C-alpha cells in the first residue's frame, strides 16, 4: 500500500484496469460449438419422409447419440411441394404435417432442421425460396424449425448468369446478397435458427460468411462415401483454421461414417479429422440399421470432446513425412490434440514415420492419451509410429511441454 500511495493517480488507474477481470463477450446464441446431429441426404437422399425423420429422432435417443451431443435432426432436399396463390409453400405428400413433425422431434428433446435455397429450384429441382425469403423464413419459425441449410443450386442460372453473364465479380456480389437476404429474414423471425450456407466454398465464403449471419458454410463440393473424396476434402481444409470460431464454422460437409465402402480405419480417420477440424458433426448414415462398430465411432466421447472444445480453434496442418500427415489442434486450458494420419495406400513400413516433436512446437516426452484405445501413450522425439493404410493415431496431451 505504501508503494501505491506514491504512484501517480493515472498510473494507478491503469494498473487497476489492467488487473480487472476481462469483460467476456457473451457466447453466441446459436452454434457456440459446431452443430451436431443427423441429416437425411447422405444415405436416404430423395427417399426421406416423415416416417424416416421420426425413426431417425427415435434412434438418436435409443442409441445414446443424443446423450453424446447429436441434437439436430435435419431434413435435407425433397420435402417441398408447390406454392399456392398466396405464395405459401406447401410440403409434398411425403411430409403431411411439418408442424406436427417438428413437435414430435422437439418432444424427444431434439431440434429440427430444414433445407431450401436462394434460387427458384433446389438441387433436386424442388421449389426453392427466390422472391419468398421472408415468407419462408416466417413459416419455418412458425413450424418451430431450428436450423436452415440454404443451397445455391439454381440461383446460378436463375440470377447470377442471367443478370451478370460475363461478370464474375458481380455474380459473386449477387450470391452474397442472396445469402444476406435470407440471413436477415431468419433474424427477423426472432427465433434462434442455425444458418448453414451451402455454396461449395465459392468466393472464399469463410471470409464473408459471418457478415451474412452464417453459423457455418460448406468449404467444398459434395462429400462421397469413399476414401478419396474424404481425403480430398481434408486436403482442402489446409489454411482455413483462422476462420473458425464460436458461432462460425467451416463445414467440410456431412459425415459419411458408416456409409458406402469406407473401412473401419477410414471411418475412424474421417471422424477424427472432422473433430480436429471443428466441423459440424452431422451423421449421415442409416440409423435404424447402424452396426455397433459404427455407433462406437460416432459416440466416442473423447473424440467428440475434441470437436466440441469450447475454445473453438480448428486444427492446422503441421507437416507430413512420406505419406503421413500431422495435424495439431489447440484446446481449452492449454491442452493439445494431435492427429497422425496415414493417407497412403500401404502400411508405412517401407518409409517408417518418425515423430518430429519440434515441428509441433513440443519439447521432451509428452504424456498423451490415445483417444481410440483410451490408453496412455508417451510421445518421444523421433519415435517410430506405424499406421495401417488410411488409419489414424489421435491423441490428447493435457499438459504439453
Which residues contribute to the site for ligand GLA (CB under 6 A)? 41, 76-77, 122-124, 151, 198, 222
What is the smallest separation between the CB atom of 199 and ligand GLA, expressed in angstroms?
A: 9
Cα(102)–Cα(97) distance, integer angstroms: 9
Between 50 and 77, whose beta carbon lies closer to ligand GLA? 77
C-alpha cell at 197: 450456407
**Residue carrying C-alpha cell 480430398:** 232
Interatomic CA distance for residues 197 and 181, integer angstroms? 12
How far apart are alpha carbons 335 and 124 in whole angstroms?
44
Choose, from 222, 330, 356, 370, the residue flagged as catalytic. 222
**What's the min distance (Å) between Cβ of 185 and ligand GLA?**
20
Cell numbers linked to 298:
460416432
Question: Shortest gap between Cβ of 287 and ligand GLA (angstroms)?
Answer: 18
Active-site pick, 76, 136, 151, 286: 151
Q: Determine contact, residues 265/24, Cβ cutoff 8 Å.
A: no
Task: Give me the least distance between CB of 384 and ligand GLA, in Å please.
Answer: 40
Phi and psi based region of residue 388 (left: phi greater than 0; alpha: psi -120 to 50; beta: remaining): beta
Residue 279, helix vs strand vs coil:
coil
DSSP secondary structure code for residue 51 in this structure:
H
Compute φ and ψ for 186, nearest 5 degrees: -65, -45
Separation of CA 113 from chain center = 14
Q: Which three cell numbers stand for residue 252?
A: 467440410
Pick between residue 256 and residue 325 the one whose CB is nearest to ligand GLA. 256
Q: 125 or 291: whose CB is closer to ligand GLA?
A: 125
Residue 271, C-alpha cell as written in the block: 471422424
Look up 370 and say whether it is catalytic: no
Q: How far is the CB of 202 from ligand GLA (least distance, A)?
A: 12
Complex with ligand GLA: residue 40 or 269, whichever CB lies closer: 40
Q: Minimal CB distance to ligand GLA: which residue?
A: 123
- Cα 51 from chain centre: 26
Dump strand ranges (E) for 84-146. 89-91, 111-116
**CA distances (Å), 294 to each of 59, 323, 338, 396, 401, in order?**
14, 26, 22, 22, 35
State the nearest-atom distance from the C-beta of 204 to ligand GLA, in Å. Answer: 18
Q: What's the closest the beta carbon of residue 223 comes to ligand GLA, in angstroms? A: 8
**Cell numbers 467440410: residue:** 252
Nearer to ligand GLA, 225 or 362 (CB): 225
Listing DSSP states for 198-263 in one string gives ESTTGGGHHHHGGGGT-SEEE-SS---SSHHHHHHHHHTTTT-GGG-BTTBEEE-----TTSTT--
How far apart are CB 41 and ligand GLA at their closest, in Å? 5
C-alpha cell at 319: 507437416
Q: Which is nearer to ligand GLA, 13 or 45 (CB)?
A: 45
For 363, the grid coordinates are 519439447
- The β-bridge partners of 397 are 336, 368
Instruction: Choose between 53 and 387: whose C-beta lies nearer to ligand GLA.
Output: 53
Residue 63 or 116 with smaller CB distance to ligand GLA: 116
Q: Which residues are catalytic?
A: 151, 222
Amino acid at each position: 500500500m505504501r508503494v501505491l500511495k506514491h504512484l501517480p493517480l493515472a498510473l494507478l488507474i491503469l494498473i487497476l484496469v489492467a488487473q480487472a477481470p476481462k469483460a467476456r463477450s457473451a457466447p453466441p446464441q446459436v452454434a457456440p460449438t459446431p452443430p451436431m446431429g443427423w441429416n437425411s441426404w447422405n444415405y436416404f437422399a430423395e427417399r426421406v419422409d416423415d416416417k424416416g425423420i421420426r425413426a431417425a429422432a427415435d434412434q438418436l435417443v435409443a442409441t445414446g447419440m443424443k446423450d453424446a451431443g447429436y441434437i439436430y435432426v435435419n431434413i435435407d432436399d425433397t420435402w417441398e411441394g408447390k406454392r399456392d396463390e398466396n405464395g405459401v409453400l406447401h410440403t409434398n405428400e411425403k411430409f403431411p404435417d411439418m408442424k406436427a413433425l417438428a413437435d414430435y422431434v422437439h418432444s424427444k428433446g431434439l431440434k429440427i432442421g430444414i433445407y431450401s435455397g436462394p434460387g427458384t429450384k433446389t438441387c433436386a429441382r424442388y421449389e426453392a425460396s427466390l422472391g419468398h425469403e421472408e415468407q419462408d423464413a416466417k413459416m419455418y419459425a412458425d413450424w418451430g424449425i431450428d436450423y436452415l441449410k440454404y443451397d445455391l443450386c439454381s440461383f446460378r442460372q436463375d440470377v447470377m448468369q442471367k443478370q451478370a453473364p460475363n461478370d464474375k465479380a458481380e455474380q459473386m456480389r449477387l450470391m452474397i446478397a442472396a445469402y444476406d437476404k435470407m440471413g436477415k429474414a431468419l433474424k427477423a423471425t426472432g427465433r434462434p435458427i442455425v444458418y448453414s450456407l451451402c455454396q461449395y466454398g465459392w468466393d472464399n465464403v469463410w471470409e464473408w460468411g459471418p457478415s451474412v449471419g452464417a453459423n457455418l458454410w460448406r468449404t467444398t463440393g459434395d462429400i462421397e462415401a469413399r476414401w478419396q473424396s474424404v481425403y480430398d476434402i481434408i486436403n482442402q481444409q489446409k489454411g482455413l483454421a483462422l476462420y473458425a470460431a464460436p458461432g462460425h464454422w467451416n463445414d467440410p460437409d456431412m459425415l459419411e461414417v458408416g456409409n458406402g465402402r469406407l473401412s473401419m480405419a477410414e471411418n475412424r480417420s474421417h471422424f477424427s479429422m472432422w473433430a480436429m477440424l471443428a466441423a459440424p458433426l452431422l451423421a449421415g448414415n442409416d440409423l435404424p440399421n447402424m452396426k455397433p462398430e459404427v455407433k462406437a465411432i460416432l459416440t466416442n466421447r473423447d473424440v467428440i470432446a475434441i470437436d466440441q472444445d469450447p475454445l473453438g480453434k480448428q486444427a492446422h496442418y503441421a507437416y507430413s513425412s512420406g505419406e503421413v500427415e500431422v495435424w495439431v489442434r489447440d484446446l481449452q486450458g492449454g491442452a493439445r490434440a494431435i492427429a497422425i494420419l496415414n493417407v497412403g495406400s500401404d502400411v508405412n513400413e517401407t518409409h517408417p514415420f518418425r515423430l518430429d516433436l519440434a515441428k509441433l512446437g513440443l519439447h521432451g516426452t509428452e504424456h498423451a492419451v490415445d483417444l481410440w484405445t483410451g490408453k496412455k501413450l508417451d510421445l518421444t522425439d523421433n519415435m517410430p509410429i506405424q499406421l495401417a493404410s488410411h488409419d489414424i493415431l489421435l491423441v490428447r496431451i493435457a499438459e504439453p511441454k
